[in-house]
């Protein structure tokens, strides 16, 4: 019979880019939280060897198999012809506003940026870095946007709590200087 460690690794592998929750792993493998934690530590140790190309990414309450950072250049070279997620200054600015103020409407993003962000919001939606999270209960019922697990994965963080803290004094200075006037070029 295949070991629980091999079963664990296969479930994480087959979950692909979506990852798999710890609860789902516990249920499928019929393991307690502490048993799963022990197996996860064993799996992490097996990936620490120099010859292993893999590592585990943990975000939200999920885990995903990924390649080690040292292989990034090699893999980027291979994937160079594929469309990848590239973020313009405008997209980063919009994504930052959404990350720190979510849930937030596009109009609220526009107010903070000082320009229309329609194109950028649509691009971030297509890249699955943000998602619609319902509608604001105001006239017109505008969509509310939040970041996604893909956002967490892209920036290599487990949760939004790991975002850097914002210095309110810097924000106040920027507001006094007229805010941002970058046009929305997507």
Residue 47 has pLDDT above 60, yes or no: yes
Q: Using an 8 Å Cβ cutoff, are 76 and 91 in contact?
A: no
Q: What is the mean pLDDT of residues 18-41?
A: 95
Separation of alpha carbons 35 and 49, rounded Å: 23
Tokens representing 50 are: 């120099």
Among 27-36, 44-53, 165-174, the minimum mean pLDDT is found in 165-174
Domains of the chain with CATH codes: 2-68 (1.10.10.10), 87-167 (1.10.10.10)
Residue 82 has pLDDT above 50, yes or no: no
Q: What is the mean pLDDT of residues 93-121?
A: 92
63: three-class secondary structure by DSSP = strand
Residue 171 has pLDDT above 60, yes or no: no
DSSP 104: B
């Amino acid at each position: 019979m295949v070991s629980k460690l091999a079963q664990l690794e296969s479930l994480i592998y087959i979950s692909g880019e979506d990852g798999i929750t710890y609860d789902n792993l516990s249920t499928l493998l019929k393991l307690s939280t502490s048993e799963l934690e022990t197996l996860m530590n064993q799996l992490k140790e097996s990936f620490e060897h120099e010859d292993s190309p893999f590592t585990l990414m943990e975000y939200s309450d999920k885990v995903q198999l990924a390649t080690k950072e040292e292989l990034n250049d090699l893999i980027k070279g291979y994937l160079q012809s594929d469309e990848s997620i590239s973020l313009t200054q405008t997209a980063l600015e919009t994504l930052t506003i959404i990350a720190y103020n979510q849930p937030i409407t596009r109009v609220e993003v526009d107010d903070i940026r000082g320009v229309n962000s329609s194109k950028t919001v649509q691009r971030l939606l297509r890249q699955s870095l943000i998602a619609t999270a319902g509608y604001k209960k105001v006239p017109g019922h505008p969509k509310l946007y939040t970041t996604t697990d893909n956002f967490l994965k892209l920036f290599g963080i487990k949760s939004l709590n790991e975002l850097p803290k914002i210095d309110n004094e810097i924000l106040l200075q920027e507001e006094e200087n007229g805010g941002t006037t970058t046009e929305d070029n997507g």
